[in-house]
Structure 1
Amino acid sequence: MSKLTNKQQQFYDTLISYIRKYFRWPTYKELADRLGFSSENSVTQYYDALVSKQFLKKDSQGNYTFTNPADVWIHENGHRQPTSIPIVGEITAGSMQEAIEADLGEVTIGDFFPNASNVFALRVKGDSMKDLGISTGDKVILSKTDLRDGDVGAVLYDGNTTLKRAHIRTTGIRLEPANPAYDDIIIKPGEFEEVTVLGKYLGHITDEGLVKSPFR
C-alpha cells in the first residue's frame, strides 16, 4: 500500500468513524458535509485515491469495501471492537450432561433487535428517568413505532424532546417521569397535533452493558 496524504488519511478516518457509529456507509453528501467539500465530486476523487492506494476495493456494482476490514473494528488502544458474540457450544437446561464445545455461529445485533432497521439510539441528558436506572450519558434504544398507553418513549412536544412514560387518554396525554423531583407534563386534546412520537423505549446501554426494558 502507498502512504496516504494527510487529507486522504482524514477522509479514511472519517469513513471509519462514521461506520463505527452508524453501522453503514455514509452517503456522498454526508461525507461532503462532514469534510467541508464544496462538491460531491471531491468525494469521488478521494474514493478513487483510496482504491488506487489499495485501502479500499470497488466491485463491479460500484460498492466499496475495506481492503483490511480490521481497520474499522480495531481501536487506537489495539483492542478489537467485536461486532458479534460467538456461540461456542451447547448447555443443557434439563438433566446434567457433558459440555459440548462447537462453533455454532454468532449472536448479532439482529438477534438482540429482530427489527434492527427500525431501531436507533439517543444519548440521555438529565435524570428524570433515574428510577428506571437511566442516567446522563446512557444511550436509550428506541424503536420507530407508536406508543401505547403506559409505554415509555421519546416524544417531541412544543419544540422540545423528552423521554417519559406516556399515559394516553382521549382526555389528554400525561408524560410521567421516573423521578419524583420532576412534574408530569400534561398535553390537552387540542395540542395532540403538536406531539411527535420519536420512538418506543426498548432498553438502554450503560457503562456495564445493555439493560433491556422490563416493559413489553
Structure 2
Amino acid sequence: MDHAQLTRKQKEFFDFITDYKMEYDVWPTYREISDQFNYKSPNSVTQNIQALLKKGYLIKGEDEEYDIHPEYGEVLDDKKSTGIPVKGLIAAGYLQEAVESDLGEITLETLFPNIESLFALRVSGMSMKDAGIYDGDFVLLMDSDVKDGDIGAVLFNGETSLKKIYYGKNGLRLEPANSEFSDIIVEPDIFEEVRIIGKYIGHVNKNGIHRAVPARKAS
C-alpha cells in the first residue's frame, strides 16, 4: 500500500479503530476513542480522522461516513475468523494424555442456539450501569416474552428505553439500575402505546460477552 507514512500516534489511533471495527463490525464512538487515548476534546478525534483521510488510510463513503481504504480492508478481512477454533480435548477428571485434533469451531450459533430470534441495540446513557450495562455497550435482545422483573427494551411515545420491567394493575413500572435515575411509570391511558420490543439476554463490550443474570421478583 503506497500511502503516506503515519506518525506513531496516528498508527496507534488507526490500529485501535480498525481493530475495534474488525472485532465488533462497527466503529468506536468518539467517547470510546477519547477514553482510549485520554483526549480532553472530541476535536482530537476529528483531527486524527482527518489526518488518516488525507494520508489515504481512510476514505469517505457515499453517505459521507468514513471507512477503511479498500486495500487495507482486504488485510482486515483476511484476519477475520468465523469462530473460535476447538483444538482438542482436556481432562476435567483424572490426568490423561493430551489429544490435539481439529474439533471445529465455536460460533455465534453455538453460543446462542436461538440466534435467529436475536438482535442487538447499542446503549446510549448510564441508567443501567448497576446491571453492568454501560454507555456504548451492545445489548443482546430476544424477541420473546418478558417476565416480571426482567430487563427489556420498551418503545413508548416514540422513544426507546432499556429498563427492568414490572407489571402492575396500574400499568408498567420501568426501573433503572442506577440510583441517579427515577422509575418511569406507564399509566393505563397510554398503556396501549407501549410495545416491549425485546428481552435482554446479555450484552457485549470490549471485555467480552456478558449473559443476563436471572431476575428476582419485586417484593
1:153 matched residue in structure 2: 152
> Which ranges of structure 2 fall in alignment gaps of 5 or more residues?
1-20, 27-60, 64-69
2:214 matched residue in structure 1: 215
2:67 matched residue in structure 1: none
Indicate if the aligned counterparts of 1:88 and 1:102 stay in contact, CA closer than 8 A. yes
1:80 matched residue in structure 2: 79
How do 1:1-216 residues align onto structure 2 when only pairs under 5 Å count?
Answer: 80-215=79-214
2:35 matched residue in structure 1: none
Pairwise CA distance, 1:75: 5.7
1:46 matched residue in structure 2: none
2:16 matched residue in structure 1: none
C-alpha change, 1:107 and 1:144, in structure 2 (3 Å) is same
CA offsets, 1:46-101, max 9 Å, x none? xxxxxxxxxxxxxxxxxxxxxxxxx9xx6655761222111111122222222211
Q: Hey, what's the Cα distance between the residues in 2 that align with 1:203 and 1:81?
A: 23
Q: Hey, what's the Cα distance between the residues in 1 that align with 2:100 and 2:185?
A: 56
The DSSP-based 3-state class of the residue aligned with 1:192 is helix
Pairwise CA distance, 1:110: 0.7
The DSSP-based 3-state class of the residue aligned with 1:154 is strand
TM-score (norm 1): 0.63
Q: Hey, what's the Cα distance between the residues in 2 that align with 1:78 and 1:154?
A: 33
Pairwise CA distance, 1:108: 0.9
Indicate if the aligned counterparts of 1:75 and 1:81 stay in contact, CA closer than 8 A. no
Aligned residues: CA RMSD? 2.6
1:61 matched residue in structure 2: none
> Which ranges of structure 1 fall in alignment gaps of 5 or more residues?
1-16, 23-33, 37-70
C-alpha change, 1:21 and 1:198, in structure 2 (3 Å) is farther
TM-score (norm 2): 0.62
Which amino acid is 2:134 matched to? S
Q: Hey, what's the Cα distance between the residues in 2 that align with 1:154 and 1:137?
A: 16
